[in-house]
Structure 1
Amino acid sequence: MKKLVISVLVLVALLVGADFGLAAFAEYQVSKQMRAKLALSEDPDVRINGFPFLAQALAGDYRDITVKANGVPLGDKLHDVGLVADLYHVRLSLSDALGGQANTATVDDVEGSLRFKASDIGRLLGIPDLTIEPDPQEDQGSGDARGGQSGQSGSQDATQAPVKLTGSTDIAGQQIQVTAHAVLALVGGQLQISARRVELGNSALGSLRVPDVVQQSVARMFTFRLDPGTLPFAAKPTKVHVENAALVIEGTAKNVTFNGRALGK
Structure 2
Amino acid sequence: MRALRALLITAVILGGLFAIADRLAVGFAESEVAAKVRSSQGLSTEPEVSINGFPFLTQMVGSELEDVEVRLGGVQATAGGHEVEVTEVAAELTGVRLNGLTSAVADRATGSARISYADLGKSAPEGATVSYAGPERAAKGQVKVVGPATELLQGAGIDIPGFAEAMLEGRTLTTYSTVSITNGDTVRLRAAELPELPVPGLDRKLREAVDYDLEIDGLPSTIKLDKVTTDETGLGFSGVGTNVSLAG
Q: Residue 188 of structure 2 aligns with which residue?
A: 192
Bigger relative contact order, structure 1 or 2 (CA pairs below 8 A, ≥6 apart): 2
TM-score w.r.t. length of structure 2: 0.68
Contact 1:184 1:194 (C-alpha < 8 Å) held by counterparts:
yes
1:143-162 aligned within 5 A = 150=140, 161-162=141-142
Residue 18 and residue 108 in structure 1: after superposition, are their counterparts in 2 closer, same or farther (change >3 A)? same
Q: Which runs of 5+ in 2 are unaligned?
A: 153-164
Q: Residue 248 of structure 1 aligns with which residue?
A: 236
Q: Cα deviations across residues 27-77 of structure 1 (Å, max 9, x unaligned)?
A: 12332454574222xx42211111211111122211111111122245664
Question: Helix, strand or coil: the match of 2:14?
Answer: helix
Whose Rg is larger?
Answer: 2
* CA distance in 1 between partners of 2:75 and 2:219 (Å): 12
Deviation at 1:130, TM superposition (A): 4.4
Deviation at 1:2, TM superposition (A): 3.5
* CA distance in 2 between partners of 1:177 and 1:71 (Å): 35
Q: Residue 121 of structure 2 aligns with which residue?
A: 122
Residue 232 and residue 32 in structure 1: after superposition, are their counterparts in 2 closer, same or farther (change >3 A)? closer
Identity value in percent: 26
Deviation at 1:26, TM superposition (A): 1.4
* CA distance in 2 between partners of 1:175 and 1:32 (Å): 55
Are 2:143 and 1:163 equivalent residues in the alignment? yes
Residue 258 and residue 175 in structure 1: after superposition, are their counterparts in 2 closer, same or farther (change >3 A)? farther
The Cα RMSD (Å) is 3.7
Residue 251 and residue 3 in structure 1: after superposition, are their counterparts in 2 closer, same or farther (change >3 A)? same
| From 54, 79, 90, the counterpart of 1:84 | 90
* CA distance in 2 between partners of 1:35 and 1:231 (Å): 10
Contact 1:114 1:231 (C-alpha < 8 Å) held by counterparts:
no
TM-score w.r.t. length of structure 1: 0.65
Contact 1:195 1:220 (C-alpha < 8 Å) held by counterparts:
no
Opposite residue 186 of structure 1, the aligned amino acid is I
Residue 133 and residue 63 in structure 1: after superposition, are their counterparts in 2 closer, same or farther (change >3 A)? farther
Residue 230 and residue 44 in structure 1: after superposition, are their counterparts in 2 closer, same or farther (change >3 A)? closer
Contact 1:233 1:256 (C-alpha < 8 Å) held by counterparts:
no
Deviation at 1:105, TM superposition (A): 1.8
Are 2:23 and 1:20 equivalent residues in the alignment? yes
Contact 1:113 1:231 (C-alpha < 8 Å) held by counterparts:
no
